[in-house]
Structure 1
Amino acid sequence: MNDNNTYKVGIIGFGPKGFYGFERLIAYLNEAEFSRAIQIHIFNNTKFLASGDVYRTDQPEYLIMNYTNRNINSWVLKKPYAPATSTPDFVTWLTGNKIADAAPGMYAPRATVGKYLEACYQFVLEQLPKNIEVVVHIGTVTNVYKKEEAYELKYVDAKFRQEADIQCNKMLFTTGHHSFKAQSRKNIMLDNKIEFVYPMDEKLSHITKDSLVAIKGFGLTAIDAILSLTEGREGSFKKHDKGILKYIPSGKEPNKIYPFSRTGLPMVPRNGLLTTDTELHFFTKEVIAELKQNRPVSFNYTLLPLIKKEFYFAYYSVLFKNYGHQFYFDEDFTVIENQVQYFHEDFPECPVFNWDDIVNPFKDEPKLSSIVLQVYIELLINEARLGEDKSPFMAAVSTWRKISPIFNEIYSFGGLDAVSHKEFDTFYFGLFNRLSYGPPVKNMQKMLALCKAGILDFSYVKSASISFNDDKSKISLHIKNGQATDISYLVNATISRGKEGGFKNELYQNLVENGLIREFENKLITGYKPGCIEINEVGNAIDKNGNVNTDISFYGTPTEGITCDNDTLSRTRNNFASVWAKSTCRAIKKRDGRTENYEREENVL
């Protein structure tokens, strides 16, 4: 291709979000029937294109998804349709490739999802218009700066560690959690402290058998790390006649694994069953649309009461049904409460809905024991097996999944006052994730089996802290009562969220220094910086002077904090990919002097 006349587009980060942007761009370019040469430069840290770090295809099979096959689809059924040899959803692809566990309600290995994503990428490449060239760069982009009418990208090649420059006219940044919010490399390289666990075969391989390992976090990433250090070391789980799992050690595991977190609570597991799609009654689109007219909104005083009512109504809808009673909605909440009062008078043995018990049943306990956690996990497993249609508890906690898309509309772009914004980010985001987006029951059964085997130890699970000696060669895990244990390794199994105080990643620090982006600050009533980039409502960068730069767009993880809950695989949540692709086509047409209307609209948020 003639380089001087070639329009160049850069996609920085090429996991699922990068692929979604690429697919939409190809679809729009194909529809526009350009004759000019177009290059699409793809930059990714690894060779796992479209699958990315989370779904890379070299992961072991025991690392599985936390939502079912039926919810996975790489394609959008909107014009312009993708020019691809095939556009199967995940279940169709599994079935066509005769892959086991293709049922809609199953939880597939993440590596299998990665293979699906990579196959979808190939389907698009196979029908690539002749004037479009895709250039792949495996390496790390470290800097971007303006150069005349384009931008110079500096990147370091992953294999040869050589620095190179590429010019691009337009860019989409879809960097994931690790590359966007990376910690200092000094911490990452300490032998006894692992700051990021993926890929686990590499990052956890030097942890020796019979050692003592502390794992920060007790969410999905922590479960992955625990399984990697046990099942991933040739341990196995055997099922008893009653369906209870028992762990059979291989002798290659650590002696003890100590998870610890702020609350000490495990995530609520899920069973994968298709549930009744109940509607919301209080936290509705109509209510939120009205609240949006009077921003900022208080989370505690305005939104939380609506969320509690939804949990309450979902809980009693199932409880009433279990006893053959009909639970009626009424706009007057006292009428609903009266129904509940009469019900409990008739059935005093039934548990009463209690928000605090759902949020944290051990709030007033300064520490938790392995026995207490074991009993609680057994309770969660039993509730999850019942499912949302039979368990009042599961019906209540699943409510957030219905509320979340509507909440995003009011959270995004500073819809909450600054105090509420900070409180949601630091407390409620984690709470609702724990309640509503937990692991499959199978994985929680494995945690229980490891606890009974004496490998998983909950002695420090709640409110533990870590201390180091002067040269950081020794690590101690301790709790307030003075109990302490010297540990061999500390594993950070949390996924970083934005924090106040700027960006730790080199690329984003340089973007700020070059004036191409600035940090977002919520200035409503007080002030709060969630640690994310400021963008406009279609994902374009806001530069240091407050101007919109349509040449630079962000999608996915870099927008967290100004948008909420960017589901890695979602094609609809905070969908800046479509508007970016259309904007890129418009820019090319403008350069070519084409002025025809190009007004197809797609749902962006």
Structure 2
Amino acid sequence: MSATNQTDNMKVNYGLCIIGAGPTCLYALSGLAAILRRRRFELSVTIDIFEKSGNFGAGAVHSPDQPTTNRLNRIADQITFAPDESNLAPDYLLEPHERHGFLQFCRQRFQRTGEEAFRVTPEDWPPRCVHGVALMECFDSYVEILRSIPGVSVQLHTAEVTDLIPIAGGYRIVFPDQYIVADHVLVATGHSRNRPRAGSNEERFAQFSRSTGKANYVEFAYPLELNLSEAAIPPGSALACVGQGLTAQDGILFLTEGRGGIFHSDGISGFRYEPSGREPRIISLSRTGVFTRARPTNEKHADIGALEHTGVFLTEDTIDRLRVHRGHPTTLPNIGVCRQLDFELDILPILKLEMFLVYYGALFGKSFLKRLICEAEPLVESFILSRPSKLDIDSTDELCRQLEPFIDEAVEILEQLESGIAISSLQRRHVGLDVEDIASAFKSFRTTLPLGCSGAPNDHRFSWDRMVEPISPRSYDGPNTYSAQVVRFMERDHAYAAEGNLRNPEKAACDAVWRDLRPVLAYAIDFGGLTADSHREFLATYMRYHNAWADGGCLETNQKMLALIRAGIVDCSTGPSPQVAINPGAGSFRIHGQLTGAVHEVETLVDAKLHPLDVEHDASPLIQAMLRRSLIRSWVNTSANGQQFQPGGPEVTRFFEAVAADGKVLSDLTLLGPVTEGILFFQLGLARPNKNHHVLNDVLCWVQHFERRLTQHTIAQPSHKLTAKS
């Protein structure tokens, strides 16, 4: 609390402190406003909110001051700032006119001010800074609602909390030269940054950079305006950007468009780049050797309820049945008995089948999809009831493989049509299939293929392996041929993305399963749903597939990456599995493409990836203080066979209560949002409207828990004062 409005003898019945005021805090405030106004508790409530960046509502990640080149990878009408009726918690909702959606905000702001930045259409992929403005204004409106409730006060602190000290009845929250005391603490600190692990390559790179004074190692790309400035990375210097996802794309655009380069629309492949002369030379590299796939045009926003995929076989009911018949029972602390699944043995075959079905539904039409589903039903039933075996690891395609004869039949129909056989004649031969529907669907697909791409139906079969490795090692023999294959792959991917997430088979399959069914994956994985070994493998392998196939940048951003490659500003010749080494003699970093033979010497090495949550190595003083005081512990997934996996995040209960080092549940110390990643799956996403979104459900679960704690609180304590540290 500020010293200007707090007297020494003033006492508050209940104090809530929220640390971190990004989107998670914003969502929580909407729920708090709803319950505090509805219940009218017979005690006063003070809410202290800390945000070190000063961007209340946006935090640092969504800062309104960040470069305009940073874009969201979510379209405008799929972003909301509060729970809605789809979340099935009517008592915890604000009135409809009080809730805010991003698109609604932009329209109102544009009507009021005429600012072009807010001329946003439903299908636009907006700049992150515009999203930040919306978050902050929405935050202000929720705070205004809270302050209008009798007995509720809200205080904002632009400061970093550095320590959390347990005291009788609550916690002392320490920030520079001051502290406050609160009954309940919510930690919602958002994205994390890690200190390099001892003995890691990252530590060696940092030490080398410090010792030479010449080599420059950037441990974390953000904030771009500081870490990637022209002073730090001069024009013409050589830079290696490790990572080819969203963070890397932000950095590359900041180093090019952000330095005065201009992208001109060419009407063919997207853009042509005109350099400013201030760019560095950028070597782009990653484990896969290619940028994440472009997000497709979103055709589902027209009617989300009707068009989003709800799952044929990959459903929560299927997960429940798999646990009964194939699960491995174990008891996890604060979770209870859980029948853990093996992702590869139990879930992956059904996930692949789901993608297979969506793929061919887009390629060969709806009637063909219905036939496939009918044929698949007994296969899936048999699979669920069967006993898993480690031998099955090589048979994750078996459900799809048993349906291949029907794909053969459809391909044969299309080839015979191509040879001149009439549809009516073919329909008589293939009674169980709608030949005209198959022909129409495939014709629609073929008309959108990029120039030079085969139109033969057999060349467009569903292939998991091709998606995992889009550029075959047999297709290149050096840096130049690999670069040519990257361009060809990106051209094809961009054509697929332009076709959309309903019409293009590959984009439809990825979007339906890895985005629309993400809540089903969370249902399977959260709170120890997978065995320890399987959980480790899922994060190491399949989460990368998720990021590559369904969580990339928008089409425009990816087209800009292609334009930069063609302009010679970005070099992708290193290829997959690159090696990065230090070169002490030259005072530089050496990049070697193991499969392409490319070699590059660079002055600057940038880690352009989001750091995974790892509380034991987190750079946050608060997280380290909580560990030191034994208020939190890293969660360990333990299976019945004794295998363990520690994903990195803290242990929390289903009500988001912290679990202390001794195993005690701390009901008045809670954590929510990205800081819970590990025991929970995919906490980094923004909230979506009308989707019963898991991020908002988590927030509502916390609000319900806080309401219970508030109800139980009968004694007005502790004294809540702003005090100078001695």
Shared topology, TM-score over 0.5?
yes
- Residue aligning to 1:588: 710
In structure 1, list runs of 5 or more residues that go unmatched: 157-162, 595-605
Q: How far apart are the structure 2 equivalents of 1:39 and 1:500?
A: 29
8 Å contact from structure 2 (residues 21, 59) kept in 1: yes
8 Å contact from structure 2 (residues 308, 516) kept in 1: no
- Residue aligning to 1:318: 362
SS at match of 1:332: helix
8 Å contact from structure 1 (residues 13, 45) kept in 2: yes
The residue type equivalent to 1:262 in the other structure is: R
Matches within 5 A, 1:27-46: 27-46=34-53
- Residue aligning to 2:233: 207
The residue type equivalent to 1:135 in the other structure is: Q
Count of aligned pairs between the two proteins: 586
- Residue aligning to 2:173: 153
- Residue aligning to 1:579: 701
The residue type equivalent to 1:495 in the other structure is: L
Does the alignment pair 1:386 with 2:393?
A: no
What is the CA-CA distance between 1:472 and the residue it aligns to? 10
Query: Once the two structures are superposed, what CA deviation does each residue of 1:86-123 show, in whole Å capped at 9, x if it has no partner?
Result: 32322222112225442211111111111111111111
What is the CA-CA distance between 1:60 and the residue it aligns to? 2.6
- Residue aligning to 1:264: 289
The residue type equivalent to 1:258 in the other structure is: I
* Structure richer in helix, relative to its length: 2
8 Å contact from structure 1 (residues 257, 457) kept in 2: yes
SS at match of 2:77: helix
- CA change 1:500–1:552 in 2 (3 A) is closer
The counterpart of 1:492, out of the listed 596, 601, 607, is: 607
SS at match of 2:161: strand
Higher mean alpha-carbon deviation, 133-142 vs 47-56, is at: 133-142
What is the CA-CA distance between 1:327 and the residue it aligns to? 4.7
8 Å contact from structure 2 (residues 270, 556) kept in 1: no
Query: Once the two structures are superposed, what CA deviation does each residue of 1:367-422 show, in whole Å capped at 9, x if it has no partner?
Result: 76221111111110011111122211112221211221111112011110111000
8 Å contact from structure 2 (residues 296, 501) kept in 1: no
Q: How far apart are the structure 1 equivalents of 2:681 and 2:164?
A: 26
Matches within 5 A, 1:50-65: 50-65=57-72
The residue type equivalent to 2:405 in the other structure is: N
- CA change 1:3–1:356 in 2 (3 A) is farther
- CA change 1:379–1:174 in 2 (3 A) is same
Percent identical among aligned pairs is: 28
SS at match of 1:551: strand
TM-score, scaled to structure 2: 0.76
- CA change 1:545–1:52 in 2 (3 A) is same
The residue type equivalent to 2:408 in the other structure is: Q
Does the alignment pair 1:329 with 2:373?
A: yes
Q: How far apart are the structure 2 equivalents of 1:10 and 1:439?
A: 35
Does the alignment pair 1:224 with 2:250?
A: yes
What is the CA-CA distance between 1:507 and the residue it aligns to? 2.3
The residue type equivalent to 1:541 in the other structure is: A
What is the CA-CA distance between 1:245 and the residue it aligns to? 1.0
Bigger-Rg structure (1/2): 2
Q: How far apart are the structure 1 equivalents of 2:621 and 2:323?
A: 36
8 Å contact from structure 2 (residues 289, 577) kept in 1: yes
Higher mean alpha-carbon deviation, 529-538 vs 33-42, is at: 33-42
What is the CA-CA distance between 1:528 and the residue it aligns to? 0.7
The residue type equivalent to 1:412 in the other structure is: D
The counterpart of 2:106, out of the listed 94, 97, 105, is: 94
- CA change 1:569–1:290 in 2 (3 A) is same
- CA change 1:109–1:515 in 2 (3 A) is same
Query: Once the two structures are superposed, what CA deviation does each residue of 1:227-271 show, in whole Å capped at 9, x if it has no partner?
Result: 0000000101011254641000111111x2111111112211124
Q: How far apart are the structure 2 equivalents of 1:467 and 1:430?
A: 24
Query: Once the two structures are superposed, what CA deviation does each residue of 1:30-67 show, in whole Å capped at 9, x if it has no partner?
Result: 22213533221111120111111221101232221111
The counterpart of 2:182, out of the listed 137, 146, 168, is: 168
SS at match of 2:192: helix
- Residue aligning to 2:445: none
8 Å contact from structure 1 (residues 85, 123) kept in 2: no
TM-score, scaled to structure 1: 0.90
Q: How far apart are the structure 2 equivalents of 1:169 and 1:83?
A: 28
8 Å contact from structure 1 (residues 32, 585) kept in 2: no
- Residue aligning to 2:311: 280
Aligned CA-pair RMSD: 2.7
What is the CA-CA distance between 1:338 and the residue it aligns to? 2.9
SS at match of 2:160: strand
What is the CA-CA distance between 1:558 and the residue it aligns to? 1.5
- Residue aligning to 1:159: none
- Residue aligning to 2:340: 296
- Residue aligning to 1:542: 659
- CA change 1:499–1:580 in 2 (3 A) is closer
SS at match of 1:25: helix
- CA change 1:468–1:124 in 2 (3 A) is same
The counterpart of 1:343, out of the listed 405, 410, 420, is: 410
The residue type equivalent to 1:345 in the other structure is: E
Query: Once the two structures are superposed, what CA deviation does each residue of 1:291-326 show, in whole Å capped at 9, x if it has no partner?
Result: 344321011111110111011111111111299997
Q: How far apart are the structure 2 equivalents of 1:195 and 1:461?
A: 22
What is the CA-CA distance between 1:26 and the residue it aligns to? 2.5
In structure 2, list runs of 5 or more residues that go unmatched: 1-5, 85-89, 111-115, 301-306, 328-338, 380-398, 416-455, 717-726
8 Å contact from structure 2 (residues 299, 502) kept in 1: no
